[in-house]
Amino acid sequence: MIRNNICLSSHPVGCSKDVERQIAYVKSKGPINGPKNVLVIGASTGYGLASRITSAFGSGASTLGVAFEKPGTEKSPGTAGYYNIRAFETQAKAAGLWAKTLNGDAFSTDIKNQVMEIIKKEMGGKVDLVIYSLASPVRTDPKDGVTYRSALKPRGGVYTAKSVDPFKGEIKESTIEPATPEEEFATVKVMGGEDWELWIDALMSEGLLSEGAQTVAYSYIGPEVTTPIYREGTIGKAKEHLEKTVVSLDKKLAKLKGKSYVSVNKALVTKASSVIPVVSLYVSVLYKVMKEMGLHEGCIEQIDRLYRERLFSGKPIAVDEKGLIRIDDWEMRPDVQAKVMTYWNQITSENVAQYADLKGFEEDFLQLNGFAITGVDYAAEVTSDQLV
């Protein structure tokens, strides 16, 4: 069920198969000399799920996940993230790996306290890697009880640019009104680094981070064509705050000889990118170019490379002039971006299939919810046992 470019249903068997595919990819690359006790905040989909899979099946880590997902009932499916978690835990158990997930609001003090109790009682009292990968549009500040809602808007003025309906293949101009100061502030509160720092503060106050512990959050920068709506927009302001949080965290983690990082990752199909004008078109064109050049990666390929070539390579971790890990390096290669802009400048509704990978965009969008997965019989009835 897709309405207004939002998928309202999920397929439990498809989600399970996709988790198995990601696990198989990591295992095919061989072991990683990486973390052994890992906390993943935002562990049910996308980069967070990929981080948990890579930690467990690459490094043999015990993993504690936090996510806020809706369970299924006997008559209707839950969220895709709910089934992803269930599939991951099933596979982890079969492999002899400890894994546990807390389903609740990661922004809340209550969930933080529950996580800390589990670390103390079931994980030996220490974690050596904390992944922060929350993607919620809403956050209630635990200090003042105010609920903030993010807004994906430009700042400073009305923004008009080329866009696409990825499911109809129609190229059109889209106009977005600018954010109010209140919307900008709220977006930083939801998507900035404030909660990340609260998590690290809580863990350190209880002595739950090991010597040399690392924490990693995820961000995105992107090219000039998406800058007004993304990097210079409200979400970009929030990402800047997230990236600046590293300075504060590093001072605190220095006591443990630990380190914090922000990894700038590649543009991919997400629930948000399917509804943000300009971004959906850019991602479709980028997919076309990177697949033609043999450079395309999904979430699991990106995170596996982050672990093997950056975080746990045994070499000094390469960062840019701002201290950011750039695992978007293939996307931002000059030859890739030059070809993207060549296609971008020529694309119309009539030739969109020639210059954009709308099929790949749609497949990735469906796969976020367990559909369009190879090896799944979608004509077969889904049983109540599979739903709950």
CA 142, 144, 145, 148 torsion-angle sign: negative
Choice among 230, 261, 343, 355 that is catalytic = 230
End-to-end CA distance of the chain: give it in Å, rounded: 19
Question: What is the H or E stretch that residue 118 is in?
Answer: helix 109-122
Q: Mind giving me the DSSP string for 7-53?
A: E----HHHHHHHHHHHHHHHHHT------SEEEEES-SSHHHHHHHH
d(CA 60, CA 29): 13
Element (H, E) at 213: strand 209-219
Alpha-carbon gap, residue 352 to 28, rounded angstroms: 35
Helices 299-306 and 46-59: crossing angle in degrees, nearest 10, is: 50
Q: How many CA atoms lie within 13 A of 375 on its CB side?
A: 9
Which amino acid is it at 88? F
Q: Which residues pair with 158 in a beta bridge?
A: none
Query: Which residue matches tokens 């696409």?
Result: 164
Polymer length of the chain: 388
Q: Kindly provide the b/e burial profile for residues 30-42, where b requires at least 16 CB atoms within 10 angstroms of the residue's own CB.
A: eebebbbbbbbbb
What single-letter DSSP state applies at residue 310?
Answer: I
Q: In whole angstroms, what is the distance from residue 201 CA to residue 143 CA?
A: 14
Half-sphere exposure of 46 (CA within 13 A, CB side): 22
Would residue 83 show up in a list of annotated catalytic residues for this protein?
Answer: no
Residue 94 DSSP one-character state: H
- DSSP secondary-structure letter at 326? E
Q: By C-alpha distance, which of 203, 361, 367, 372 is closest to 285?
A: 361
As annotated, the active-site residues are 230
